[in-house]
Chain A
Amino acid sequence: MTEPRFEHPPEEAAISYLADGHSLRSWFLTTDHKRIALLYLVSITFFFLIGASAAALIRLDLLTPQADLLTNEGYNRAFSIHGIVMVWFFLIPAIPNVLGNFLVPIMIGARDLAFPRLNLLSWYIYIFSGLLTLYVVVSGGVDTGWTFYTPLSSAYANGAVVATIVAVFISGFSTILTGINFIVTIHKLRAPGMTWGRLPLFIWSHYATSIIFVLATPVLAVTLLLVAAERLIGIGVFDPRLGGDPLLFQHLFWFYSHPAVYIMILPALGVISELITAAAHKRIFGYWFVAIASIAIAVIGFMVWGHHMFVSGQSVYASAVFSFLSIAVAVPSAIKVYNWTATLYKADIAIDAPLLFALSFIGLFVAGGLTGLMLAMLAIDVHVTDTYFVVAHFHYIMVGGSVTAFFGGLHFWWPKITGRLYNETLGRIAAVLILVGFNVTFFPQFLLGYEGMPRRYHVYPPEFQVLHVISSMGAALLAVGYALPAIYLIASLLPGGRRAPANPWGATGLEWTTSSPPPKDNFTEQPVVARQPYDYPLAHPASRDDG
């Protein structure tokens, strides 16, 4: 919160960033972080559709125990492209590059990110690598799975493996540039009075994410480079015939990819902290615990990669240590869940669509987290390794967690981003549909996996068919749940859509002190911060009740 005089800036104070230029050039060569965020929003939505189409093919094929829709090769390509697109072109950029890009500068009272041109460059790199991935899809695809395990990827796989690797390699630069930009911005561009202890928790989680961006992504880059070198010129360190060791690939790959899981979930945790406090109209319970938990997750997350390799033949002592550390990383995550529920306790709660998304996030995150603890136990992991149990677990975190939080955040900040109010009733329906559809899709997969259904197979014994059919039905419901917001959010942009006031939720935070949508420079005057974050109570505004 700042001085009260910023709470309701006059409507005509400054031209909004959306009205400042309508040419294509003003969008594609913009350095405004808000416009770049919208460029990202459109592009990740596009890649979400591609990844989702691949998922639809997979679920349709799994309706029957035989292979009747896709060939073996086609099925491998479908799940590979689903994983690659969803991880690198949707989940990783989704929250940081859309919501983070839009909000990080505004939340700390800055006019833009520290390096605006670098920000635009990072979008172009992302688009270039995305187009390369599309080229892979049309030129025959790739069948290694998103993990590119050697020696399959380096010696045996057919298809455009190298092109895919190059695409992912290039997209890493986009990620690193974003990480650098966020870290420097948060260090250097905070408004007067915005001390570290007054940063919104959204900022803390993006800070932690950026650390992983910068330190983990290059390890993936060099790993993929080594695979490409082995495939192309025979200089390899993974193929035993060349003196290498395939397990080395798994170590290097998971050294990146486990932190990458936290890249996908940490920003979501930050979104939920904002949603919960705004709906509860209460100060967050244990600010410092939630803030430091983000950093702790980022740090411990670097030391747990071995839990992906319990059955790979690594030393049992290493496995025991990785098991212990993997259980330890649950502690900061649990702290956050407890603090959110404690924040909601005895609060005057406004049950709007963002809160419904936040509540389903908490439920799904707890389910995903607890099954994660089971997987961290050596004995259980050996039983369910490479089964649908693992698939269900990480979809609970990635889809139930990250995607739900992304939708919640999109609804929460939609009035700020576009200046329009969406249909609140439809928003609540969508939140419930997504929650139900998600559980119907993925809960049966826990059962499937525990009973022994392996992942990445499309021909299976008939006794698994009932659960697979339920799962596919749930996926259809989930698709409706995801399509619904696309309809009413776009409808709110049409002429005649209701205009949003500066602060429709009655929330604290600098982003709610400027107009909706914000002017090009975010604020008409330099904000000065004089209070703690989440300094409620703030009156519920009347405008919220007519939703």
Chain B
Amino acid sequence: MLVFLASEVMLFGGIFAAALALRLEHESAYGAAAHHLNLWLGTANTAVLLTSSLMAAIAVQAARDGKPAWAARALWAAVLLGCVFLAIKGAEYAGDLREGLMPGTAQAHFEGTTQHLFMNLYFIGTGLHAVHVTIGLGLLVVAALNRQARHDQHAVLIGNVALYWHLVDVVWVFLYPTLYLAGAR
């Protein structure tokens, strides 16, 4: 599983490399572009996702301690928080669309090529992340519904699902400063 996660990290690596190169080349324009993002929604989402990841870790520990009921509760909590994350993200996308920041749409307008590219990277990066969140939610539901997995004191299935969920979390932890905090003033 860890080997697969290394592969996933490389998947996002290209986007981060592009974003960092852009920031090095056009530092002030990059900051200005990042400033248009909603820092508060991004911060809220960071807190939501980190808590969700904590729930997944608790589920692993509960399964190892032989408390299947608690493992299931923690998993459902993680699922719920993941849904909240996607809801906030959706609201944020809707806001971006209203402000004309959504590339590829008719009302899109940008202050320059740097902002245009920044928003492209923002949508591809967070969009790809959202796809991973959705997959992770599916895995969490599978783990929560699986009776055998809850009673497995080695927590093989829950452990692997939690690892994947942590990856989703870690990717966000890097997306957040790269995209949101870069614009904080």
User: A237 and B124 in contact (CB under 8 A), knowing A243-B110, A243-B117, A248-B18?
Assistant: yes
- Check if B104 sits within 8 Å of A219, measured CB to CB: no
- Check if B7 sits within 8 Å of A235, measured CB to CB: no
Interface flag for B13 (CB, 8 Å): yes
Report the bound CA distance from A176 to B11 in whole Å: 12
Contacts of A234 in B (CB 8 A): 103-104
Interface flag for B3 (CB, 8 Å): yes
Within 8 A of A (CB), among B70-117: 103-104, 110, 112-117
Interface flag for B121 (CB, 8 Å): yes
We find that the number of chain B residues with CB closer than 8 angstroms to chain A is: 29
Interface flag for A133 (CB, 8 Å): no
Report the bound CA distance from A218 to B9 in whole Å: 8
Report the bound CA distance from A243 to B19 in whole Å: 12
Give the A-B pair count, Cβ closer than 8 A. 80
- Check if B4 sits within 8 Å of A180, measured CB to CB: yes
- Check if A235 sits within 8 Å of B103, measured CB to CB: yes
**What 0/1 readout, one digit per residue, does chain B (17-50) give for beta carbons within 8 Å of chain A?**
1100100000000000000000000000000000
- Check if B7 sits within 8 Å of A236, measured CB to CB: no
Interface flag for B12 (CB, 8 Å): yes
**Contact of A222 (CB < 8 Å), options: B6, B12, B123:** B12
Interface flag for A216 (CB, 8 Å): yes
- Check if A242 sits within 8 Å of B3, measured CB to CB: no
User: A223 and B116 in contact (CB under 8 A), knowing A180-B7, A214-B6, A237-B124?
Assistant: no
Report the bound CA distance from A236 to B120 in whole Å: 6
Contacts of B128 in A (CB 8 A): 222, 225
Contacts of B121 in A (CB 8 A): 237
User: A218 and B10 in contact (CB under 8 A), knowing A242-B120, A243-B115, A244-B120?
Assistant: yes
Within 8 A of B (CB), among A220-261: 221-223, 225-226, 229, 233-237, 240, 242-245, 248, 251-252, 255
- Check if A235 sits within 8 Å of B113, measured CB to CB: no
- Check if A252 sits within 8 Å of B14, measured CB to CB: yes
Interface-centre pick from B7, B8, B112, B115 (highest chain A CB count, 10 A):
B7
Assign chain A's interface to a size class.
Answer: 20 to 34
- Check if A235 sits within 8 Å of B10, measured CB to CB: no
Contacts of B123 in A (CB 8 A): 235
- Check if B3 sits within 8 Å of A183, measured CB to CB: yes
Interface flag for B171 (CB, 8 Å): no
Contacts of A255 in B (CB 8 A): 14
In the complex, what residue of chain A is closest to B118 when comparing beta carbons? A243
- Check if A221 sits within 8 Å of B11, measured CB to CB: yes
Contacts of B11 in A (CB 8 A): 218-219, 221-222
**Contact of B113 (CB < 8 Å), options: A179, A225, A243, A251:** A243
**Least CB distance, A141 to chain B, in whole angstroms:** 27
- Check if A214 sits within 8 Å of B120, measured CB to CB: no
**Nearest 5 interchain pairs by C-beta:** A243-B117, A243-B116, A234-B104, A243-B113, A218-B11
A: residues with CB less than 8 A from B are: 176, 179-180, 183-184, 214-219, 221-223, 225-226, 229, 233-237, 240, 242-245, 248, 251-252, 255
14 CB-based A-B contacts, threshold 8 Å:
A176-B7, A214-B10, A216-B10, A218-B7, A219-B11, A222-B11, A222-B12, A222-B15, A222-B128, A243-B110, A243-B116, A248-B18, A251-B17, A255-B14
